[in-house]
């Protein structure tokens, strides 16, 4: 059924559980094996309206077709409604800007297949249909979706490229934070120096896995937190000595948010199979910081 109807397996299981599927006139079990000649009837109800309201918010859609879209998310925008953020999210904006949304999981909503932190800018991939959502979710699980970030970190990496392979889970001391912990989920991050600055570096960072706050947690774990990260890098500049401390303080002052941008996205289209590639330059707020840091200036 999932293959024939181009629906996710989760959606098909829900249809069976809700009584929308009959085999030879009777309700089947989800695990039932059908025989040749069996008649399978499926009633797929129309997508339901959801409580999330459309909002006319600024949104940069860099690509869109019948199955998916790619958005260049601005910093400060939460991806999905949650307690404390019921409006003003990327999903609210998409419901307004995408009138031909077929819906995912039987609801009129876009399918978020990966996320970006609120203060991380850049490219995010969104499914418009069940078939695209399932295909993209499978591709991410199989590590066939390539995501490359630009990040500025404090200090200088001892080696480049650098691979960090350390499990991530909830911080036992603060459940709102993530941390490298025994028993966490495996997480792998690869970083390469792009520009070397006085007391910091601009990195290309690739994710092999996609854990919450993964880049920020891993870089902090190896002693090189993301510049501007007030959660995992707070107070790092204060511990810096020598004549470079003034330069570092100025860099910290100039950085308005965590210096993390989803710069490149590569994947195979889940329906057509075409190879898709997208790139997003550093937004103005971070580009100005990088220009100053790369100039070798030590003052205003």
Q: Which three-class secondary structure state does DSSP give residue 52?
A: coil
**Residue 163, CA distances (Å) to 14, 34, 190, 242, 265 in order:** 41, 48, 4, 29, 20
- Distance, in Å, from the CA atom of 181 to the CA atom of 108, rounded to the nearest integer, reads 38
Query: To 5 degrees, how large is the angle CA 227–CA 229–CA 232?
Result: 115
- Distance, in Å, from the CA atom of 152 to the CA atom of 213, rounded to the nearest integer, reads 15
Find the catalytic residue in 72, 117, 119, 252.
Answer: 117
What is the token pair recorded at 89?
């999210």
254 neighbors 237 (Cβ within 8 angstroms): no
User: Is 117 designated active site?
Assistant: yes
Residues in the chain: 300
110 neighbors 127 (Cβ within 8 angstroms): yes
HSE-up (13 A, CA, CB side) for residue 79: 19
Residue 21's DSSP bridge partners are: 42
- Catalytic residue numbers read 117
């Amino acid at each position: 059924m999932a293959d024939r109807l181009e629906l996710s397996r989760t959606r098909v299981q829900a249809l069976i559980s809700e009584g929308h599927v009959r085999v030879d006139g009777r309700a089947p079990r989800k695990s039932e094996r059908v025989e040749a000649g069996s008649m399978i009837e499926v009633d797929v109800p129309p997508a339901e309206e959801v409580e999330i309201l459309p909002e006319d918010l600024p949104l940069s859609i860099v690509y869109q077709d019948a199955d998916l879209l790619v958005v260049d998310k601005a910093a400060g925008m939460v991806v999905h409604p949650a307690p404390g953020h019921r409006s003003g999210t990327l999903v609210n904006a998409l419901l307004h800007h995408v009138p031909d949304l077929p819906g995912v999981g039987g609801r009129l909503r876009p399918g978020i297949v990966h996320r970006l932190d609120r203060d991380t800018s850049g490219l995010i991939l969104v499914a418009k249909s069940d078939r695209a959502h399932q295909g993209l979710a499978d591709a991410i699980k199989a590590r066939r979706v390539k995501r490359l970030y630009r990040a500025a970190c404090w200090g200088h990496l001892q080696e480049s490229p650098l691979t960090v392979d350390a499990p991530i889970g909830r911080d036992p001391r603060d459940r709102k934070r993530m941390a490298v912990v025994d028993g966490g989920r495996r997480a792998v991050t690869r970083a390469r120096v792009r520009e070397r600055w006085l007391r910091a570096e601009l990195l290309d960072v690739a994710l092999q896995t996609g854990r919450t706050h993964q880049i920020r947690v891993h870089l902090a774990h190896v002693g090189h937190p993301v510049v501007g990260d007030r959660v995992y890098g707070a107070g790092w500049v204060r511990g810096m000595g020598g004549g470079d401390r003034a330069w570092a303080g100025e860099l910290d002052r100039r950085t308005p948010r965590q210096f993390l941008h989803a710069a490149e996205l590569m994947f195979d289209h889940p329906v057509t199979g075409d190879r898709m590639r997208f790139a997003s330059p550093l937004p103005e707020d971070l580009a100005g910081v990088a220009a100053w840091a790369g100039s070798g200036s030590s003052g205003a």
